[in-house]
Chain A
Amino acid sequence: MKTSDAFPKKATAVIIGGGISGLSIAWHLAKKGMKDIVVLEKSYLGSGATGRCGAGIRQQWSSEANCLMAKKSVEFFEKAQDTLKYDGDIQFKQEGYLIVASDKDEADTFKESVKLQNRLGIPTEILSKKEALKVVPHLNPEAFHSATFCKTDGHLYPFTTLDAFYKASLSEGVKVFTYTEVLAIHKEGDNIHAVVTDKGVIKTSIAINAAGGHAGVIGKMAGIEIPVYSQNREILVTEPVERMQGPMVISFTKNIYCQQTPHGAFIMGRGDDRDAGYSVHSTHAFLDAMAKTVTDLLPPIGNLRVIRQWGGLYNMSPDHQPIISSTPVQGFYVACGFSGHGFMLAPMTGLLLSEIILNEPPSLPIENLSLSRFKGKTYQDVEKNVV
């Protein structure tokens, strides 16, 4: 993206990371009246986890913080096309997530999550095997026990959704610089003073770390240790075919999620345990495991051709819930540790962090999202529903 703007020497706030979180934060801050916001992206927009994610939108979580963020984000996405005045199509398709339980034990563990979700107003239902087969008839009846289904979950297209936040941010006066890498963060005492890039130095008192898989690295630049690590998670996509599956089908024990996008392609991923690091390479091991898992659970999909595979980084936090927080460094804020779900939570990420920065009362409880929650304690409320 070329920009006619000269590279700024100062800014009110510098956001590091041109993914969905960074642009949602930028848009929310600008909407609330902040001027001179700069977003920096070291590659093209969405080149990190946003553009590599599974395009799923889910509210069926086991932790209250994730449930609430997801529910409010879905409410945003339902109106996002108008709210962001987008000229393209964000392709929000609400045909549900069907979470299958492999056996009775897993089904029992789902009951508690569903109770929590229902209490928070998320319309999840428990389905018998027979009922689940009505929703997705090509499921292998031998491969699962029962399911839970939330009809307002679904699909959202990451690239155009990011483009919508990008264009809306531009209309609010935000300046976005792609192919611009952050090299250092300067402090004066315990205050943010400047962000150093390969294009120049920007003087600012607010720096926001929305660097996704690289959030730990950016944290260190400001002298803040964030307890996150990154892990490669792989995905593949098939050729587009006639519509045959409405919901996302997902299983935690089988380690798979698989949906048909509005465009017709099937997109599927799994989360094999990998060493922490920054590699996003594709592997044969993933392909083999994925082919076995998907043809077992959804046999007709075996007939589809894989046309592409790729990897992307999950930025894992200790309790698999986001870190949306101020830090001990004055003016340094973080939005990271999404543990694979930053895309679907982005509207609330932007709203909550803008409220934290502007000292407004938060729309949701933020104690469970704070960086300080990890200090010297064991985590009570670890999110279990993660692939």
Chain B
Amino acid sequence: MKHEDIIICRCSDVTLMDLYELFEQGYDTFEEIKRIKRVGMGPCQANTCGKMVQWEIAKYFNRPLENVPFHNMRPFTLGVKLDAIRRAADDEDE
């Protein structure tokens, strides 16, 4: 299969080809790649693509997987509506 046809990040529409282009330019950490291509920054928060990105970095740069840091995970794990957060906060105030 062609690299441009392999979707790595579904949320931000990033292909394997996109990753390779960044690797060739020298971007070799998850944090850098995430910020330029938004890989892992969508609604799934890298729950789908995270391991694949890590694996592709390891393969391309020929590094042991354990030497390729995963991206810094931040809250939330799942999307929550602002209205729901507000209702919960109002309940706590009462």
Interface of A toward B, CB cutoff 8 Å: 1-3, 43-47, 51, 88, 159-160, 163, 238-240, 263, 282, 287-292, 294-295, 301-310
B36 touches A301 (CB 8 A): no
- A240 CB, nearest partner CB in chain B, Å: 7
* Cα distance A271–B92 in the bound complex, in angstroms: 22
B35 touches A295 (CB 8 A): no
Residue B80 CB within 8 A of the other chain: yes
- A132 CB, nearest partner CB in chain B, Å: 22
Which of chain A's residues has its CB closest to B85's CB? A291
* Cα distance A312–B62 in the bound complex, in angstroms: 33
**Central interface residue in A45, A287, A303, by most chain B CB within 10 Å:** A287
Contacts A240-B42, A308-B75 given; does A44 touch B80 at CB 8 Å: no
Query: Which of A1, A292, A302 meets B32, CB within 8 Å?
Result: A1
Which of chain A's residues has its CB closest to B12's CB? A263
B43 touches A159 (CB 8 A): no
Residue B70 CB within 8 A of the other chain: no
Can you list 28 A-B contacts (CB < 8 A)?
A1-B26, A1-B28, A1-B29, A1-B32, A2-B26, A2-B61, A3-B26, A44-B31, A44-B35, A159-B36, A160-B36, A282-B75, A287-B89, A288-B89, A288-B92, A289-B89, A291-B86, A301-B82, A302-B82, A305-B43, A305-B79, A305-B82, A306-B81, A307-B42, A307-B76, A308-B41, A308-B74, A309-B75
4 further A-B contacts with Cβ under 8 Å, apart from A288-B89, A304-B81, are: A1-B27, A163-B36, A291-B85, A303-B83
- B59 CB, nearest partner CB in chain A, Å: 15
What residues of A have a CB within 8 angstroms of the CB of B74 in the complex?
282, 308-310
B32 touches A295 (CB 8 A): no
- B82 CB, nearest partner CB in chain A, Å: 5
- B53 CB, nearest partner CB in chain A, Å: 15
B82 touches A159 (CB 8 A): no
Which of chain A's residues has its CB closest to B31's CB? A44
Report the tally of A-B residue pairs with Cβ distances under 8 A. Answer: 89
What residues of A have a CB within 8 angstroms of the CB of B43 in the complex?
239, 305, 307
B31 touches A47 (CB 8 A): yes
Interface of B toward A, CB cutoff 8 Å: 26-29, 31-32, 35-36, 38, 41-43, 45, 61, 74-76, 79-83, 85-86, 88-90, 92
What residues of B have a CB within 8 angstroms of the CB of A294 in the complex?
82
What residues of A have a CB within 8 angstroms of the CB of B79 in the complex?
238-239, 305-307
A44 touches B32 (CB 8 A): yes
Which of chain A's residues has its CB closest to B89's CB? A288
Which of chain B's residues has its CB closest to A302's CB? B83
Pairs A-B, 10 closest by C-beta atoms: A305-B79, A302-B83, A288-B89, A291-B85, A159-B35, A291-B86, A302-B82, A44-B31, A291-B82, A239-B43
B85 touches A306 (CB 8 A): yes
A45 touches B89 (CB 8 A): no
* Cα distance A44–B36 in the bound complex, in angstroms: 12
What residues of A have a CB within 8 angstroms of the CB of B80 in the complex?
305-306
- B6 CB, nearest partner CB in chain A, Å: 21
- A247 CB, nearest partner CB in chain B, Å: 19
What residues of A have a CB within 8 angstroms of the CB of B26 in the complex?
1-3
A263 touches B81 (CB 8 A): no
B29 touches A295 (CB 8 A): no
A295 touches B82 (CB 8 A): yes
B36 touches A305 (CB 8 A): no
Query: Which of A163, A263, A304 meets B82, CB within 8 Å?
Result: A304
What residues of A have a CB within 8 angstroms of the CB of B76 in the complex?
306-309
Contacts A2-B26, A240-B42, A307-B43 given; does A291 touch B89 at CB 8 Å: yes
What residues of A have a CB within 8 angstroms of the CB of B38 in the complex?
263
- A233 CB, nearest partner CB in chain B, Å: 15
Which of chain B's residues has its CB closest to A45's CB? B32
Contacts A1-B27, A44-B29 given; does A51 touch B35 at CB 8 Å: yes
What residues of B have a CB within 8 angstroms of the CB of A301 in the complex?
82
What residues of A have a CB within 8 angstroms of the CB of B31 in the complex?
43-44, 47
Contacts A1-B27, A2-B28, A291-B89 given; does A308 touch B45 at CB 8 Å: yes
Which of chain A's residues has its CB closest to B44's CB? A307
- B65 CB, nearest partner CB in chain A, Å: 17
* Cα distance A45–B33 in the bound complex, in angstroms: 11
A295 touches B83 (CB 8 A): yes
- A193 CB, nearest partner CB in chain B, Å: 31
* Cα distance A43–B69 in the bound complex, in angstroms: 13
* Cα distance A310–B31 in the bound complex, in angstroms: 15
